[in-house]
Structures are given as structure tokens and as C-alpha cells.
Amino acid sequence: MKTVLELLTEQFEAAFEQCGYDKKYAKVTLSNRPDLCEYQCNGAMAAVKEYKKAPIMIATDVVEKLKDNDVFEEITAVNPGFINMKVSGKFISDFVNAMSLDENLGVEKNNPAKTIIIDYGGANVAKPLHVGHLRPAVIGESIKRLCRFAGDKVIGDVHLGDWGMPIGLIIEQLRDEQPELVYFDESYTGEYPAEPPFDITELERIYPFASKRSKEDAEFKERAHQATLKLQEGLPAFRAIWEHIMKVSVTDLKKNYGNLNVDFDLWYGESTADPLIKPMVDDMIEKGFAYESQGAMVVDVKEETDTKEYPPCIVRKSDGAALYATSDLATIIQRVRDYDPDLMVYITDKRQEMHFDQVFRVARKVGLVSEKNKLTFHGNGTMNGKDGKPFKTRDGGVMRLEMLLKDISDAVYEKIMENRSVEEEEARKTAKIVGLAALKYGDLSNQIGKDYIFDIERFISFEGNTGPYILYTIVRIKSILAKYAELGKDAKAINPQVNSIQTASEKALMIELSKFNEMIKNAYEELAPHKVCSYIFNLSDAFNTFYHDNRIMAEEDEKKQAGYINLLETTKKTLEKSIDILGFEAPERM
């Protein structure tokens, strides 16, 4: 379906042409003076230069052609040359009707569909998810859903940090703690045990401990380094330990991401790309892209137009070890080989921007990607505490994501129990759903690159620009629809359509609703979930005003009432689709 702005622009294009003006001036936009009009066209102002006429004369010509058109309720040329308009009730209700009959609420699927890989999450094995992992996970999940809704084939990859030194550290720490394990018996030739020698709790103790130890104990560090090299060479005993780490960690990560309503199609990681690294770097050397600098192999990434310093990208360290950048480069090879994607999107903390800049430049320079395979980085801002510094636990430690989720759902639980007498079990369930929505909305309503403050009181408030407010609106609609259904009435049979406008608040609601396909288009083009948030906030406001101004259940005219119900149904579907894109859901009651 075309968007309202496209439909209105078409009307204007015809009118501009009839008057002898170029249709390129006919663009209609939303009004930036909602007190005066709903939409506007400022094209006459721009056309002055070409036609050497006062803009008000051009605007008046165009309005003359459109004033009897039943699309408009009101259309006026105002000084110095703007055209302001209000659309007719019929136009907007016809639009909303068409939207309500369309399974995608008026959004046209991309044709042809693009193939997109989204790299988000960024978890590291043997380490618990902490608050720093929240934003990439929540944003990436939403972008994935947004692109899917737009019709693309989207693959989400968690891209685990599952290779290199951290694994060597775990192996050597394990050796010191449990030297009797068969993995450390060099004469052992049998099968390795299927059961891991640790659980997630132990693993999450071992790794940070070993990591800290390596900073003080050079001998230990060197052993870990050697173990890492042996693992990379494929030593079966160390491979077996690595597989245990993977299994234990990934099971735990799946559970934790699951609690965030985040899931990945691929659980690949740095290890997946590892076999591609050596041939890749050898090739870069052979083709003359990589050269030696202070013992390391580097690729220059400077470009003439640069305004800041771009250091060369190191692709192989002097000791032969691979690096973060190399691993990302090899992953690009794997992604192009397996999917030949139109776009690869990376979502991580914005402090990694230089890393990705370098990686993308090398990838293009050495030809790992073709013109078709675009690469984009969306660096997220930080979630800060009220002190403006990265969010910490009360005692200044790194906050586990699990704890953050628990804190927010506990706070919602208290609130639910304060207000009403719901069964405890239901309150717990609801609190989890509402808490997640509060957290995700609090995050996604900010532009990706901006920092924001985690303010639990504000996030869980049922009023204002919050997740719970949106859910509350949906729950309210659900309850009206349930009451109507209890009467045994079938709205669609009584009146297949929404009413053509009776009241101002009804029209305002339809206008907000009608912006859905336009909003999706914009959010998709910019990969900007915050646009979905501001849309549903305005839509919820418009609905709540409508609800206060109109008597729905008490309406005696059955047909009119059924029209209202259809409007509610469409509002509900639109809100539900939107929150699904944001990655959360609404409870039955609140």
C-alpha cells in the first residue's frame, strides 16, 4: 500500500502539472504546525526561482485545482506561499480500512528481498552476560525483526568470543586445579569424557580468576599462550576441553538471551573463522597488501580524504598470533562465501568504531567483499547510571544482565502488588513481561548512538513515554474487545469497516494509525528502532484521548459501535506488531 504522504503527493503532482509547474515541487509532508493543519506542501516556495512568480501565486494556482477534491476537507494557500491542508474523514477512514484488511497493515514487502547478516550480541564464552551486552542484544534483535518485517532474509549471528587466549587461560588454570584430569595426561590415547569437568558456575569463576592471575604471573601467562597455540594447532585434549567450554557456555548463554527474548540463527564465533585466517593473511602478503612493520604484518587503511588518523590494521602479530581484526576479516570471508549478503550490519559498543572502520577498509581494499556486499557499523551508546557513568552495581561492580532483569521485574512486581490484588503467581509472570518491556523500551526509545540513563523508576512508570504505558494501552484495548465479545456480537458482521469520522479524537487516532507504513519505511531505511517507539507512543496517546472522548461500550448505535470496535482492533494489531518488532510482548492483564 502507498503511504498517506505518497497518496497526497500524487494529488499535488497532478495539480502542479495542470498549472504548468514541475511536479518535483509537489512533495507533501506532515504538518509541523499541527495546530493549523494536518499536512502541508511547501513546494511553491521552492518553485519561485524557476517561475519567477510570488510563491503565494503559485500556491493559490495549485489550491484552485484541488479545492473541490474530496480528499481534502480544507486546503488553503497561506502567506508567503505554504499550502496547508486537512484531509477528509472519508479519505483517512478509507485508508485505515484498507490498512486493517491488509495482513501487513499496509507495509509492502521489499521486492526483491535483501539478504542481511546482523552481527550482534557479542557474548564471550566462560563469561556471564553483563550490562554492556544489553544494548547490542536488544538493538540487534529489533533491527533483525524490523528488516524481516520489511521482507528481507535476515540472519542473526551472535559471533561469540570463543577463541584465543581466554581458552588457553582456562586450560592452564584447570591443569593447576585438577592435574589428574585425563586431558593433561600426555600418554592418554583413549576417548575423552563426554561430561564436562566443570559447570557454568565454576567456569565463570575459573576464567576471571585465570585472567587476573595472568596479569601478575608471567610464567602462567606464557603457559596459557602455549596452550592457546596448541589448541589452534588442533591438539585433541585441548580441543576436547574447548568443546566442553562451548557446550556449557552456550547452553547458559541461550538461556540468558532467551530471557531477553533475543535469539540467534547462527551461534558462530571467532573459532568458526579461525581456519580461514592463515590462507587469508598469506594471500594479503602475496598480493602485496600486507607488509612487515616492527615484526608484525600490517595493511594500510589511510585514505586521502581522511580528517583523522587511521593507523594501519595489524593482521598478524610478530608471534604469529591472530587478532580481533583478523578474526573479523576472516568472518567476512565466511559470510560472503555462505550467503553473499547485500548487507552486513554490526552492532557493538561505539567505542569499537575504529576497529570496524579498519576492518571494513581492509575488506574492501583486499577484495574480500564485492560492490554488492555492503558493510555498516552501528555503534551503540552506553547505558549509564544516574551519576552519568557506565551503570554499575551498588558496590561498584559489573552488573550481570541476569541481576538487572531481576531488579526490574522485582520493581514491577512490587508495583503490581501495591495496586491490586492479583494472585502472586500471575503478578510474577506479568512483572517479568512488563519488566522486560520497560527495559527494552527504555533502551530502544533512544537513538542507538546516544548514551542514556538507566532510571528504573521512570522506566517502569505506567505513565509517560515508557514501555509499561504502551502495554497498558494494549491491555486496555484488549479488555474493551473482550467485553464486546462477551456480548456475543460480531463487529465485522455488523459493520465491516471503521466509521467515517465522527469526532476530532477519532480522526486524530486514524491519522496516527495511518502513519504506520511510512514510519516502518523510515525506520527500516535508517535502521532506527527509536522511530517505532515514538510512533507507538503517539499512537497510544491518540488512542487514550479517543477512549476518554468517546463512549464505546455505551454506544447505542450498533453500527457505529462496531466501527469503533474495528478501529480498536486495528489499533491493537498495529501496536502489537510494533512491540513485536521491538522484541517484547503485552500481558493479558496488568
CB of 154 to ligand ARG, least distance (A): 16
Tell me if 161 contacts ligand ARG by CB under 6 A: yes
Report the C-alpha gap between 324 and 321 in whole angstroms.
10
Binders of ligand ARG in range 285-304 (CB under 6 A): none
- If the CB atoms of residues 123 and 434 are measured against ligand ARG, the closer one turns out to be 123
What region does 31 belong to: left with phi over 0, alpha with psi -120 to 50, or beta? beta
Tell me if 341 contacts ligand ARG by CB under 6 A: no
Report the C-alpha gap between 341 and 329 in whole angstroms.
15
Q: Shortest Cβ contact with ligand ARG: which residue?
A: 122
- If the CB atoms of residues 161 and 563 are measured against ligand ARG, the closer one turns out to be 161
Please give the backbone phi and psi of residue 525, each rounded to the nearest 5 degrees, phi first.
-60, -40
Q: Which of 124, 232, 256, 465 binds ligand ARG (CB under 6 A)?
A: 124
Tell me if 122 contacts ligand ARG by CB under 6 A: yes
CB of 478 to ligand ARG, least distance (A): 39
- If the CB atoms of residues 159 and 244 are measured against ligand ARG, the closer one turns out to be 159
Look up cell 550482534; give the residue: 120
Tell me if 587 contacts ligand ARG by CB under 6 A: no
> Greatest CA span in the chain, whole angstroms?
95
> How is 223-265 classified by DSSP, letter by letter?
HHHHHHHHHHHT-HHHHHHHHHHHHHHHHHHHHHHHHTT---S
CA triplet 174, 172, 256: central angle to 5 degrees? 60
Of the listed pieces 62-70, 117-125, 188-196, 404-412, which binds ligand ARG according to CB under 6 A?
117-125
Report the C-alpha gap between 143 and 326 in whole angstroms.
26
- If the CB atoms of residues 149 and 356 are measured against ligand ARG, the closer one turns out to be 356
Of the listed pieces 47-55, 95-103, 118-126, 280-288, which binds ligand ARG according to CB under 6 A?
118-126
- If the CB atoms of residues 62 and 369 are measured against ligand ARG, the closer one turns out to be 369
- If the CB atoms of residues 55 and 136 are measured against ligand ARG, the closer one turns out to be 136
CB of 280 to ligand ARG, least distance (A): 15
Binders of ligand ARG in range 304-333 (CB under 6 A): 328
Tell me if 141 contacts ligand ARG by CB under 6 A: no
Cis peptide before 80 (omega within 30 of 0): yes
Binders of ligand ARG in range 426-445 (CB under 6 A): none
- SS3 label, residue 60: helix
The torsion angle over the Cα atoms of residues 520, 458, 422 and 538, rounded to 10 degrees, is -30
CB of 132 to ligand ARG, least distance (A): 8
CA torsion through residues 344, 349, 355, 358, sign: positive
- If the CB atoms of residues 37 and 118 are measured against ligand ARG, the closer one turns out to be 118
Judged by CB under 6 A, the number of residues near ligand ARG is: 8
Tell me if 446 contacts ligand ARG by CB under 6 A: no
- If the CB atoms of residues 122 and 587 are measured against ligand ARG, the closer one turns out to be 122
CB of 439 to ligand ARG, least distance (A): 20
Task: Retrieve residue 469's grid coordinates.
Answer: 504505558
- If the CB atoms of residues 107 and 210 are measured against ligand ARG, the closer one turns out to be 210
Report the C-alpha gap between 43 and 379 in whole angstroms.
36
Binders of ligand ARG in range 514-543 (CB under 6 A): none
Binders of ligand ARG in range 342-361 (CB under 6 A): 346, 348
Task: Retrieve residue 209's grid coordinates.
Answer: 580468576
Tell me if 512 contacts ligand ARG by CB under 6 A: no
- If the CB atoms of residues 328 and 512 are measured against ligand ARG, the closer one turns out to be 328
Task: Retrieve residue 373's grid coordinates.
Answer: 556486499
Containing H/E element for 140? helix 134-149
CB of 133 to ligand ARG, least distance (A): 8
Burial pattern 147-164, b for ≥16 Cβ within 10 A else e, equals: bbbbbbbbbbbbbbbbbb
CB of 327 to ligand ARG, least distance (A): 8
CB of 524 to ligand ARG, least distance (A): 22
CB of 120 to ligand ARG, least distance (A): 8
CB-based contact 150:203 (threshold 8 Å): no
CB of 256 to ligand ARG, least distance (A): 15
CB of 159 to ligand ARG, least distance (A): 4
Tell me if 159 contacts ligand ARG by CB under 6 A: yes
Report the C-alpha gap between 214 and 88 in whole angstroms.
72
> How is 146-171 classified by DSSP, letter by letter?
HHHHTT-EEEEE--BB-SSHHHHHHH
Selection from 578, 490, 566, 493 nearest residue 104 by Cα: 578
Look up cell 588442533; give the residue: 234
Selection from 508, 489, 511, 512 nearest residue 560 by Cα: 489
- If the CB atoms of residues 55 and 161 are measured against ligand ARG, the closer one turns out to be 161
CB of 506 to ligand ARG, least distance (A): 48
- If the CB atoms of residues 204 and 328 are measured against ligand ARG, the closer one turns out to be 328
Tell me if 119 contacts ligand ARG by CB under 6 A: yes
Binding mask 67-106 for ligand ARG (x = CB under 6 A): ----------------------------------------
CB of 127 to ligand ARG, least distance (A): 8
Task: Retrieve residue 477's grid coordinates.
Answer: 484495548
Length of the chain: 590
Task: Retrieve residue 169's grid coordinates.
Answer: 587461560
Report the C-alpha gap between 45 and 82 in whole angstroms.
7
Task: Retrieve residue 379's grid coordinates.
Answer: 555503534
CB of 235 to ligand ARG, least distance (A): 24
Tell me if 128 contacts ligand ARG by CB under 6 A: no
- If the CB atoms of residues 162 and 506 are measured against ligand ARG, the closer one turns out to be 162
CB of 525 to ligand ARG, least distance (A): 23
The answer for residues whose C-beta is within 8 angstroms of residue 546's C-beta and 6 or more apart is 503, 505, 506, 508, 509
Cα 427 from chain centre: 28
Of the listed pieces 30-38, 116-124, 229-237, 258-266, which binds ligand ARG according to CB under 6 A?
116-124
C-alpha distances out from residue 176 to 208, 216, 232, Å: 15, 16, 21
Using CB under 6 A as the criterion, which residues of the chain lie in contact with ligand ARG when the complex forms?
119, 122, 124, 159, 161, 328, 346, 348
